Amino acid sequence: MRPRPERLVFLPGAGGDAAFWKPLADRLEHRGERVLLGWPGFGPNAGRADVQSLDDLYRLVVDVIDRPVDLIAQSMGGVLAVRAALDLPALVCHLVLAATSGGIDVRRFGAADWREQRRRERPDEPPWFAHDRTDLEARLRDVTAPTLLLWGDADAVSPVAVGEHLARTLPYAHLVVIPGGDHAFARDRAFEIAPHVDRHVSV
């Protein structure tokens, strides 16, 4: 039997803003402590000399998993969440992944190639971000945490086909598709996904 989670840890995407998940965090019935992480160097956050790679961001995630947690993650944050679930299975009780690659190559599923355009539009962002190619595909079947997959069917960055693949590959996964949802639906339609998340983390 899994331990009862004491924290809900929220991981944003490359927007980096901890506030991305606040609309959902405020609506959940889960009684655990809320920890909303932001990414140094992304969005509204100042950079840090000790954060120069996705591995460095992962260290920030691991630092708050010192007790049983549920992880709720979007986009780039989903890669970190899957890695944590693989490395710390005794402490990661549930996963909620929204509009993410989950650490796989999504180009074969028709995902838009957006990284270089983003680098041009946001030249102050950490340069390593556009070149990271973390690949967790071979390890996905080892994820033991029950996983809720939330996808929008109007998302060009992470198409529904990505969520369908993760649902087939992750051993304990369930996919919910949000009609008309774009890449930011988890923030903009928190009222709609909150019941799904509450049901998932209560199991």
Supply the pLDDT for residue 117. 67
Supply the pLDDT for residue 49. 92
Structural element, H or E, at residue 166: helix 160-169
Q: In this model, does residue 1 exceed pLDDT 70?
A: no
Q: Are strands 147-152 and 173-178 parallel, antiparallel or unpaired?
A: parallel
Supply the pLDDT for residue 76. 92
Q: What is the pLDDT of residues 71-106, one digit of tens each?
A: 999 999 999 999 999 999 999 999 999 999 999 988
Q: In this model, does residue 61 exceed pLDDT 90?
A: yes
Which domains, from first to last, does the chain contain? 7-201 (3.40.50.1820)
Q: In this model, does residue 116 exceed pLDDT 70?
A: no
Supply the pLDDT for residue 111. 81
Q: How many CA atoms lie within 13 A of 152 on its CB side?
A: 23
Report the alpha-carbon distance of residue 38 to residue 99 in Å, rounded. Answer: 17
- Top pLDDT among 120 and 174 is at 174
Return the amino acid letter for 74: Q
Residue 133 buriedness (CB in 10 A; 0-12 / 13-18 / 19+) = exposed
User: Taking the model in full, what pTM does it have?
Assistant: 0.94
Report the alpha-carbon distance of residue 130 to residue 114 in Å, rounded. Answer: 9
- Top pLDDT among 150 and 132 is at 150
- Terminal Cα-to-Cα distance of the chain (whole angstroms): 11
Report the alpha-carbon distance of residue 150 to residue 173 in Å, rounded. Answer: 11
